[in-house]
């Protein structure tokens, strides 16, 4: 598989960089020949301390979250010296649970599906945000199908395992093109309206909400997880960096961009096998990075947030909405969800999820499933 012109090799010698989003993670000391890890196991006797660094307790933020338990355990044999070939070999078959490639027009989507058309409780479509992929919904959609729902979770064009066309050659990563491509995909998947829609995240996540505003009749109920919802919603530094000429081109080719963004908005670090999957598209080629770059450049944050805030307010939107919010989100404060609820209190139900950050479906999927089942 080809590597991009802007190779991420220099960044792989360290798990932090000037262009990567800062995350609360254990420190990794690298030598020219290998990585060395200091893993301190917490016991009642030592309370997570060590003789080498008694002031540092890497387990201080770990809870009984069953999805994140042992999240700081580090691999004994990481890919040495940031060897991209080794990392690709180790990860190329990971992260495709429940998924297959679906042709829709000239584009190929990677779509995860659980349950069946005969599922008694209806169809749920899950839409991820940037810079992640549908992999984040794997546990939620698996458990939702066990509860009787038919679930789809596509990777947006330009993300995950879906096509990543070069801008100007069939797809330009604009809001209109995303909406049109999604409409065609729903037809190919034979999703019958009205259906349940779940949306999370920035950029393409916001486009999922603006699509909903234009297709209210197709939606039975809408659930929103940690997505910018008001004009006061802050824009993370990553997306500001992507809009800076030249610097954006460099930033988008950071192979650990996605995993660092996830960890930067969460109280947890990703387990290695999860980080592998979020990293894989950016290691495989330069396409995902440039797709993210174009999407970040094309979006008008002010106009999009204004559409969302006004479109879902009282008098404009009358369908039931659930806002399930990870309160440990370091990008979007809880006040965003509360302000959104006040704009349409008759139709918005706010459910706060303790212990979860910007991606509650990744941080604590069990609580997300409980919220969705109770709402749908």
Query: 127-165, pLDDT tens digit by residue?
Result: 999 999 999 999 999 999 999 999 999 999 999 999 999
Could you tell me whether strands 107-114 and 99-104 are parallel, antiparallel, or unpaired per DSSP bridges?
A: antiparallel
- Ordered by start, the domain boundaries in the chain are 94-374
Read off the pTM. 0.78
Q: Count Cα neighbours of 30 within 13 Å in the Cβ-side half-sphere.
A: 13
Residue 79 in contact with residue 120, Cβ under 8 Å? Answer: no
User: pLDDT band for position 101 (50/70/90)?
Assistant: very high
Q: Comparing 134 with 167, which gets the higher pLDDT?
A: 134
pLDDT of 43 > 70? The answer is no
Exposure of 317 by Cβ count < 10 A (0-12 exposed, 13-18 middle, 19+ buried)? buried
Give the pLDDT confidence of 145-154 residue by residue, as tens digits: 999 999 999 9
Tally Cβ neighbours within 10 Å of residue 253: 23
- Predicted pLDDT at 95: 85
Q: Count Cα neighbours of 70 within 13 Å in the Cβ-side half-sphere.
A: 7
Mean pLDDT of 178-189: 98
- Predicted pLDDT at 94: 77
- Predicted pLDDT at 86: 52
End-to-end Cα distance, the chain: 42
- Predicted pLDDT at 185: 98
d(CA 90, CA 92) in angstroms, rounded, equals: 6
- Predicted pLDDT at 92: 60
- Predicted pLDDT at 20: 39
Give the pLDDT confidence of 112-124 residue by residue, as tens digits: 999 998 888 999 9
Could you tell me whether strands 35-36 and 29-30 are parallel, antiparallel, or unpaired per DSSP bridges?
A: antiparallel
CATH domain 94-374 topology: Rossmann fold (3.40.50)
Looking at the chain, the number of H-run helices and the number of E-run strands are 13, 10
Could you tell me whether strands 150-154 and 107-114 are parallel, antiparallel, or unpaired per DSSP bridges?
A: antiparallel
Scanning 115-215, the segments in alpha helix (DSSP H) are 138-146, 175-189, 204-214
């Amino acid at each position: 598989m080809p590597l991009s012109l802007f190779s991420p090799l220099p960044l792989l010698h360290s798990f932090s960089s000037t262009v990567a989003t800062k995350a609360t993670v254990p420190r990794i000391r690298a030598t020219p020949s290998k990585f060395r890890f200091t893993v301190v196991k917490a016991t009642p006797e030592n309370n997570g301390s060590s003789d080498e660094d008694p002031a540092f307790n890497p387990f201080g933020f770990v809870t009984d979250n069953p999805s994140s338990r042992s999240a700081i355990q580090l691999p004994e044999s990481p890919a040495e010296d940031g060897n991209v070939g080794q990392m690709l070999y180790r990860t190329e078959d990971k992260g495709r649970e429940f998924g297959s490639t679906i042709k829709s027009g000239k584009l190929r989507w990677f779509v995860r599906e659980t349950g069946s058309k005969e599922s008694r409780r209806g169809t749920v479509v899950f839409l991820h945000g940037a810079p992640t992929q549908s992999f984040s919904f794997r546990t939620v959609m698996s458990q939702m199908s066990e509860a009787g729902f038919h679930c789809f979770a596509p990777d947006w064009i330009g993300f995950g395992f879906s096509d990543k066309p070069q801008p100007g050659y069939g797809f330009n990563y604009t809001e209109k093109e995303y909406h049109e491509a999604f409409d065609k995909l729903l037809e190919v998947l034979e999703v019958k309206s009205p259906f349940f829609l779940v949306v999370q995240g920035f950029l393409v996540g916001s486009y999922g909400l603006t699509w909903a505003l234009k297709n209210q009749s197709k939606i039975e109920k809408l659930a929103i997880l940690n997505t910018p919802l008001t004009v006061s919603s802050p824009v993370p530094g990553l997306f500001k960096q992507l809009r800076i000429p030249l610097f954006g081109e460099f930033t988008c080719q950071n192979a650990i961009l996605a995993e660092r963004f996830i960890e930067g908005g969460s109280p947890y670090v990703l387990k290695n096998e999860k980080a592998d999957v979020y990293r894989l598209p950016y290691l495989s080629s330069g396409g995902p990075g440039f797709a993210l770059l174009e999407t970040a450049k094309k979006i008008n944050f002010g106009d999009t947030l204004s559409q969302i805030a006004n479109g879902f307010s009282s008098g404009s939107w009358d369908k039931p909405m659930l806002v399930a919010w990870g309160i440990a989100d370091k990008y979007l404060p809880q006040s965003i969800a509360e302000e959104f609820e006040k704009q349409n209190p008759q139709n918005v139900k706010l459910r706060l999820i303790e212990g979860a950050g910007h991606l509650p479906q990744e941080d604590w999927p069990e609580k997300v499933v409980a919220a969705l089942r109770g709402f749908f």
